[in-house]
Chains A and B, each alone.
Chain A
Amino acid sequence: MKLKYNLSEDRIRQLKMERDEKLYYAIPYDIGENGRWIDDGMCVVTSENVAAFEGDRLVEKLPIKMCCRTRAEAAVGAGMLVTEYGALENKDEKTSEQRDAAHTVTEKLIVRYSAKHRTRFAYIARGINILSGGRTEEVVSKEYESVCEICGRIIPGTKECPYCNKKGGFWHDFLGMLAPYKKSVGGIVCLMIMAAVVTLLNPEIQKHLVDDVLTKTNGDIKKALWCIAGMFMLGGGIVVINVLKSYYCTVLGARIAADKRDTLFKVIQGLPLTYINDRRPGELMNRVVNDTRVIKDFMSNTFCNLFTVSFIFVWDVIFMVMLNPKLALFSFISVPLAVWGTLTFRESIHRRFHLQGKKDDDISSNLQDVLSGIRVVKTYGKEQKERQRFNRFADEYCRVAFRNERFWAIFNPTLRFIMGFGIFLVVLLGGMDVLNERMSAGELLQFVTYTTLLYQYLEWMTGMPRDLTRLVASMERINDVLIQEPFIGEEEKPDRHEIKGDIEFRHATFGYKSYQPVLEDINLKVKQGEMIGIVGPSGAGKSTLINLLMRLYEIDDGEIFVDDIPIRNIESRHYHEQLGVVLQETFLFTGTILSNIRFAKPDATYEEVINAAKLANAHDFISAMPDGYNTYVGEKGSTLSGGERQRIAIARAILKNPRMLILDEATSSLDTESEFLIQQALERLIKGKTTFAIAHRLSTLKNADRLLVIDGHRIAEIGSHEELMEKRGIYYGLVKAQMG
């Protein structure tokens, strides 16, 4: 994401930069001082100043040293860059009490921007804070732009706009994709050309039949038979060629798609988690499933006819001009009309049926809503009202569907008629030529056939650009994944470190979206073997803290140390291998209990598995099942209770013998009996290992050495149970609330 836009000479002059003043950032903003849209706002940050321009007018210039704490504040549908403006005597003392006492700072609005620039301003705010703190690093954004600067289109999650990116170009990529399949592509191209030749040859024979046999008074039956035999063979030939062509194209398409899918899957597995997490869930799945399907469809539907149609089209036109230039001109006259008609009609149809689809969705989602909430509807006696609502949606759909069908029924034949209009003209004028003996009847027939062919393929040709763009976008999305470097965010030579268990968070700041921090400035030191309980309201960042520790995300600012080694210097696969994780929702893979327990250590002996299950209090219930450890679980397997699944997950963690444990609400939503069993199992597991445990039920944290209360994106309280109870803060409130 671009953080340094170009500045005009005039603006630079107005900044009156000192000699060693350096330009850091320049980014646009779009809401003016009067609260209206502007398109020429620019916020500029140099090593000395923060400035804002509206057009060429300098509207704000603040010394950066006075901007104590700058942030991109979210508003509804917009955002503002706000700073605590003023001189702080000691910049390290930034607690609110001291600020209040000093009263030298005021909150100051620098600029306002719409949500479009929100992400950029989050980076700028961070950049300003670094500079005002006396450091000189420049913040760089690795995020992709979401809108193409050139064409203004939305970029479909790739680095470059697929419509404007001409580097190498589409044909380069496309041919590159076909390169490994040279032989079959060559065969298909041959078939395509054969199909075109045969199609074009047929009218030529028809001409001979008419001219040399039918219109002659003494027609030769032998010649007629030859012609008919020729036509029959060509007719049969085209069927064979087309079948072969379609067959090979489909096979090729399926093979390319399968190969792409394979490579994609391989690459995705090696991708850094940050890349996967940056994308919406399902997006990568779409790339593997849908985008490869687009390629397959293109190969079997469009590519299959690509050369045939283009070839026929070109020669068709050439033959027509050669046969009768005047007539050709006349039949071309209605071509633009037909193209225009087809495009408008298609667009209109697309809009109409899209609308119909939307109405259909409305019905489904309404139905889904009511059916899943049927108990609420019934208990509140609202059946009548819901029925009326549903009727309204259904009527609406009916109205739209009726209108669309009528439109289709009227306009489709009309359009075909208009498109066939050229033929009438050709027959009329050509017929006159034949009567005046300027043209033979056979030639007219040939010409008419060519004209029909021309219009027949016209419709196909107008659909080409759409198919091509769809293919380009899909290829772009696939290539975007393929060019990713695996495991970024890891140092060059990562350390294969054996975790001892000393953990330190130093000024750790992180947000899933860059403009919205979830954790701010977390500082925490944990000694080896300590158990840390994490409590706090939902959404405060408990799970996020753990995600950072599990290295599922890269932190934005600050550093996490494991045994005094920065976490990013540790080889991540090796790091993950040493973690034991038990989550609230236990995920069991489709397979047997044995394979699930062995997941982390596939070569574990039966003995080890049984031992782990015993420690996890799982052995007894597993033994009681008819298939024992070979019991099939997962999507279609036998159903285990939440507590049983949980204990299998614990067995899985125990078997791995992890060096550090992470428990995320491992015992919530279980009955007391299984909670006791699990608690017991966990205690065995935890012994001597650094443990982080999140829990809502505070009783489960009674063994914790220290408790960490997270609130408002920060560590609000930290200490042992007794210390926190004495403090009578948030934790005290929580305990009181749970005791009732």
Chain B
Amino acid sequence: MSKEMINVEAERPMATDTDKSKTINSGNAVFTKTEGGFIGMELDGKKYDRVKVIRLFPFTDPDKYMSVRDVMDGDKEIGIIEDIKELPEETVKILLEQQELYYFTPVITKVISIKDEYGYAYFDVETDKGRCKFTINMGADAVSKLSDTRLLITDVDGNRFEIANVLDFTVKEQRKLDLFL
């Protein structure tokens, strides 16, 4: 899980300015959707062609503390949105749309079957993004617990699947999942 995060965020350890991050809010920034399907931003009169908005607490608080980064300048941080809800509705919509694009973590809603064979488990599940099949390596740490009932499953390719609450599943489904809890 954490490996993926590091890859994606490509933090720049060389950044020498450790000033307090700039706060981005409805007062100083305007977000617009670009032609190519991404978002641009104008902050205090400065235009950014494409920015990336990253969740700093993707599991515990996905809609708070988002880091806005300039894609055209090596993903350098421009500032932080403290709470998305304080932004105008239209902006929230654009931002959430962008998050959907950037974070792809289907939530499993139904377990159809799990078959384990020679160290791999083959899942067939229904998710909020549609039905899908995936495979996990049972030897590796494919399942991490975000809490006692919330799971994050990483498949052999690095796709991530979430189980929001194990207790929401039927007893039969839970028994299938038992091996991974």
Taking Cβ atoms with an 8 Å cutoff, the residues of A that contact B are 31, 35-38, 74-78, 80, 82, 85, 96, 99-100, 106-109, 112, 114-116, 118, 146-147, 152-154, 351, 354-355, 358, 469-470, 473, 516, 536-539, 711-712, 730, 733-734, 737
Contact B130 A36 (CB under 8 A): yes
B38 interface hit (Cβ, 8 Å): yes
- Most B CB contacts (10 A, CB to CB) among A76, A115, A730 go to A76
Contact B104 A114 (CB under 8 A): yes
B45 interface hit (Cβ, 8 Å): no
Contact A108 B35 (CB under 8 A): yes
Of the candidates B4, B100, B157, the one whose C-beta lies within 8 Å of that of A35 is: B100
Residues of A within 8 A of B14 (CB): 536-537, 711, 730, 733-734
Closest 7 CB pairs of A and B: A108-B36, A78-B104, A115-B158, A37-B130, A77-B160, A109-B37, A115-B157
B87 interface hit (Cβ, 8 Å): no
Closest to B6 in A: A539
Contact A146 B156 (CB under 8 A): yes
* Bound-state Cα–Cα, A106 to B39, Å: 11
B132 interface hit (Cβ, 8 Å): yes
Contact B179 A351 (CB under 8 A): yes
Of the candidates B12, B35, B159, the one whose C-beta lies within 8 Å of that of A106 is: B35
B147 interface hit (Cβ, 8 Å): no
Residues of A within 8 A of B36 (CB): 82, 85, 106-109
* Bound-state Cα–Cα, A107 to B130, Å: 28
Not counting A35-B100, A74-B7, A78-B104, a sample of 9 additional A-B residue pairs whose C-beta atoms are within 8 angstroms of each other reads A37-B127, A75-B104, A96-B73, A100-B72, A109-B36, A152-B122, A154-B156, A537-B12, A537-B13
Of the candidates A75, A114, A537, the one whose C-beta lies within 8 Å of that of B102 is: A75
Contact A733 B16 (CB under 8 A): yes
Q: Give the B interface residue count (CB, 8 A).
A: 49
Of the candidates B8, B106, B116, the one whose C-beta lies within 8 Å of that of A74 is: B8
Chain B, range 2-51, C-beta contacts under 8 Å to A = 4-5, 7-8, 12-14, 16, 34-38, 49-50
Main secondary structure of the interface of B (DSSP, over half): mixed
Closest to B135 in A: A154
Contact B16 A76 (CB under 8 A): no
The distance from the CB of A98 to the nearest CB of chain B, in whole angstroms, is 12
Contact B117 A153 (CB under 8 A): yes
Residues of B within 8 A of A146 (CB): 156-157
Chain B, range 91-112, C-beta contacts under 8 Å to A = 100-106
* Bound-state Cα–Cα, A109 to B100, Å: 14
The distance from the CB of B78 to the nearest CB of chain A, in whole angstroms, is 15
Known: A76-B5, A76-B102, A107-B38. A37 touches B49 (CB 8 A): no
Known: A77-B104, A112-B101. A107 touches B34 (CB 8 A): yes
Contact B101 A80 (CB under 8 A): yes
Chain B, range 30-85, C-beta contacts under 8 Å to A = 34-38, 49-50, 58, 71-74
Contact B103 A75 (CB under 8 A): yes
* Bound-state Cα–Cα, A100 to B72, Å: 9
Contact B8 A470 (CB under 8 A): no
Contact B16 A77 (CB under 8 A): no
Contact A737 B16 (CB under 8 A): yes
The distance from the CB of B106 to the nearest CB of chain A, in whole angstroms, is 7
Closest to A117 in B: B157
The distance from the CB of B181 to the nearest CB of chain A, in whole angstroms, is 9
Residues of B within 8 A of A109 (CB): 36-38, 101
B178 interface hit (Cβ, 8 Å): yes
Residues of A within 8 A of B103 (CB): 75-77
Contact B120 A154 (CB under 8 A): yes
Contact B118 A473 (CB under 8 A): yes
Contact B132 A37 (CB under 8 A): yes
The distance from the CB of A714 to the nearest CB of chain B, in whole angstroms, is 10
The distance from the CB of B6 to the nearest CB of chain A, in whole angstroms, is 9
Residues of A within 8 A of B160 (CB): 76-77
* Bound-state Cα–Cα, A537 to B179, Å: 42
* Bound-state Cα–Cα, A351 to B138, Å: 12
Contact B12 A712 (CB under 8 A): yes
The distance from the CB of A27 to the nearest CB of chain B, in whole angstroms, is 14
Residues of A within 8 A of B120 (CB): 153-154
